[in-house]
Chain A
């Protein structure tokens, strides 16, 4: 994180996107081409912790377009988890708007959010979060079950997803019989199974050794090359560098937003 000079960050009111193309404020610096998948408009998340009021997100504005691979970095307590929760529709902003695929999801009910998560988001967690008493195939089928897909199609799609991560042969194993790397691949397959436009990876390498981490990151890059939009949340700059674009968060605000040059066509855009 040290190699980049933090940009100045001012608390802004929501600015029309047209004007921002020129300004290129942090969070809105991604490629200007392509369909907007995620748009955070001046998002605040404010908690009351005892006497103290915590601004976990303090006016975050961010646009992520289709086929981007963005890393959101920040230290613990920086507010990156809050951002990830809001992007992942696990939480709603206190103020501000969140548009996912053009739809305002900031004021949705629990069940509506569940529906959006099922349709538009694939989660990859640090702890893999596989359900231990279901086998690999059943775990991958879960999002499809909640989608209401027929049994036969579910099997086919889950198998296809497992095949994509190269772990089809383990489909009847229990998660506990797999190594960490293999489990993470299963969780990637699960994220892919429902074919969501966005893959949200929360510290996907946090529990893996460096070799396996490289493998998993390589895999995410490949998915990105194949057309998936990937949002990576991490505290590790080395991991973040694998993304095409890095958004750094501190104290609930975006302090940096630049292109890394990773991937084929990326150019350095750091300020």
Chain B
């Protein structure tokens, strides 16, 4: 008896008891379905987060200088020198000076944060402007009181009207708005649209700090980001002789960390879903054992007609594998549909992976074969005389 016949026989026997077959499959359907749903949602989450970080530039490095007792520092000139001396690794840099301010225009006022940067920052972070211009070298050199603001502030302070050329009061000092950033968040409070950029020189004056303690650097290429990081670390170590006085982190490193985290989270969730697959497999084994008992006479007849052990074995294993792979296919469809539905409801990106689908399918076939083996073996070993006499 070949595979095709065994398969046909299996399908026939499944058709013969649809309700039972469906209930048996249910365990596998739920197991496979939940694996697919979880993998799809986690993949979506990961790709959302990754693309968000990637939009900030995957080749960027962030340097924080904590200093050591204040007697030594790593100033803007030193950083500039470092970048200029290593054009093969570093392409540009910008100091970043942060300050919290109260912004006021006309009668409206909000608390927001100011980031002081130089003219290179726009390119490093690929910032898009919807209106006006970014600051220039001259603005930075002359400590111009100019700023570029996010869409949240445009809405809050200017009621959505064009703010370019108008004034904004930051902690009581007037600044001229020269540009508006493209909306990147949802123009919500504390989103990436709740931001003011200005020349770092002006920001230092605004916040009253004397030194720059944080920089954003752009490596020439994403693949060189690690070498660039080492280079910067070495330079900082030369200055401070203490690696706790500074911290350098690269965006690609952070993306890797995020991927790793979501990856292990996915594994845990899939593991939990996998338990239901296991339970489904046990369900199949249970039903197959019942089926072997019910069909003892049939097995006896088949044996009397010349079925060998392996024929009976194959019949039952294929039946179990067919049941569970049908469950697997149903589970995949169910999982994909539920994942998309959940994506729509929870407003998440859903990325069903082909790999997960193939894996889920082969696992369900495998489960059928493994859990079908024991009942099939029991059937194959039946003594034909006893089996024929069985009622």
Contacts of B310 in A (CB 8 A): 111
| Contact status B304-A133, CB under 8 Å | no
Q: How far is the CA of A110 from the CA of B386 in the complex (A)?
A: 14
Of residues 75 through 115 on chain A, the ones whose CB sits less than 8 Å from some CB of chain B are 85, 88, 90-91, 110-111, 114-115
Q: Which of A123-131, A161-169, A178-186, A206-214 contacts B (4 or more CB under 8 A)?
A: A123-131
Task: Report which residue of B297, B302, B304, B311 has the largest number of chain A beta carbons within 10 angstroms of its beta carbon.
Answer: B304
| Contact status B388-A146, CB under 8 Å | no
Q: Nearest chain-B residue to A128 (Cβ)?
A: B301
The answer to the question of B176 belonging to the interface, with a C-beta cut-off of 8 Å to chain A, is no
Partner of B306, one of A85, A119, A133: A119
| Contact status A145-B5, CB under 8 Å | yes
Contacts of B2 in A (CB 8 A): 148
| Contact status B301-A114, CB under 8 Å | no
Q: Nearest chain-A residue to B298 (Cβ)?
A: A131
Of the four ranges (under 10, 10 to 19, 20 to 34, 35 or more), the interface on chain A belongs to 20 to 34
| Contact status A143-B306, CB under 8 Å | yes
| Contact status A114-B388, CB under 8 Å | no
Contacts of A91 in B (CB 8 A): 385
Query: 1/0 contact trace for B299-340 toward A, CB 8 Å?
Result: 011111111111100000000000000000000000000000
Contacts of B309 in A (CB 8 A): 110-111, 114
How far in angstroms is the closest Cβ of chain A from B390? 11
Contacts of B298 in A (CB 8 A): 131
| Contact status A118-B385, CB under 8 Å | no
Query: 1/0 contact trace for B359-391 toward A, CB 8 Å?
Result: 000000000000000000000000011001000
Q: How far is the CA of A203 from the CA of B80 in the complex (A)?
A: 105
The answer to the question of B16 belonging to the interface, with a C-beta cut-off of 8 Å to chain A, is yes
Contacts of B301 in A (CB 8 A): 129-131, 142
Of residues 91 through 113 on chain B, the ones whose CB sits less than 8 Å from some CB of chain A are none
Contacts of B290 in A (CB 8 A): none
| Contact status B304-A117, CB under 8 Å | yes
Contacts of A190 in B (CB 8 A): 305
Q: How far is the CA of A117 from the CA of B16 in the complex (A)?
A: 29
Given contacts A114-B307, A129-B388, contact A146 B1 (CB under 8 A): yes
The answer to the question of B13 belonging to the interface, with a C-beta cut-off of 8 Å to chain A, is yes
| Contact status B384-A147, CB under 8 Å | no
Contacts of A125 in B (CB 8 A): 388
| Contact status B305-A143, CB under 8 Å | yes
Q: How far is the CA of A250 from the CA of B16 in the complex (A)?
A: 45
Q: Nearest chain-A residue to B8 (Cβ)?
A: A138
| Contact status B308-A114, CB under 8 Å | yes
How far in angstroms is the closest Cβ of chain B from A171? 17
Contacts of A194 in B (CB 8 A): 306
Q: How far is the CA of A111 from the CA of B301 in the complex (A)?
A: 15
Of residues 338 through 354 on chain B, the ones whose CB sits less than 8 Å from some CB of chain A are none
| Contact status B304-A88, CB under 8 Å | yes
Q: How far is the CA of A124 from the CA of B384 in the complex (A)?
A: 15
Partner of B12, one of A88, A133, A145: A133
Given contacts A146-B1, A146-B311, contact A85 B305 (CB under 8 A): no
Q: Nearest chain-B residue to A196 (Cβ)?
A: B306
Q: Nearest chain-B residue to A110 (Cβ)?
A: B309
Contacts of A123 in B (CB 8 A): 304-305
Q: How far is the CA of A145 from the CA of B304 in the complex (A)?
A: 13
Of residues 215 through 269 on chain B, the ones whose CB sits less than 8 Å from some CB of chain A are none
| Contact status A146-B306, CB under 8 Å | yes
Q: How far is the CA of A85 from the CA of B383 in the complex (A)?
A: 12
| Contact status B304-A147, CB under 8 Å | no
Q: Nearest chain-B residue to A193 (Cβ)?
A: B305
Q: How far is the CA of A148 from the CA of B5 in the complex (A)?
A: 11
Given contacts A114-B303, A114-B306, A146-B311, contact A133 B16 (CB under 8 A): yes
Q: How far is the CA of A194 from the CA of B309 in the complex (A)?
A: 20
Contacts of B12 in A (CB 8 A): 133-134
How far in angstroms is the closest Cβ of chain B from A148? 7
Task: Report which residue of B13, B302, B306 has the largest number of chain A beta carbons within 10 angstroms of its beta carbon.
Answer: B306
Contacts of B5 in A (CB 8 A): 145
Q: Nearest chain-A residue to B15 (Cβ)?
A: A133
Q: Nearest chain-B residue to A116 (Cβ)?
A: B306
| Contact status A85-B302, CB under 8 Å | no
| Contact status B304-A90, CB under 8 Å | yes
What are 10 sample pairs from A and B whose C-beta atoms fall under 8 A apart? A90-B384, A114-B307, A114-B308, A114-B309, A123-B305, A129-B300, A142-B301, A145-B5, A148-B1, A190-B305
Top 9 A-B pairs, shortest CB-CB distance: A118-B306, A146-B306, A143-B305, A111-B308, A114-B308, A129-B301, A90-B385, A117-B306, A133-B16
**What residues make up the interface of A, taking CB atoms closer than 8 Å to B?**
85, 88, 90-91, 110-111, 114-115, 117-119, 123, 125, 129-131, 133-134, 142-143, 145-148, 190, 194
Instruction: List 14 extra interface pairs beyond A129-B301, A130-B301, A131-B302, CB under 8 A.
Output: A85-B385, A88-B304, A110-B309, A111-B309, A111-B310, A115-B308, A117-B303, A117-B306, A118-B306, A134-B12, A142-B302, A145-B5, A146-B311, A147-B306
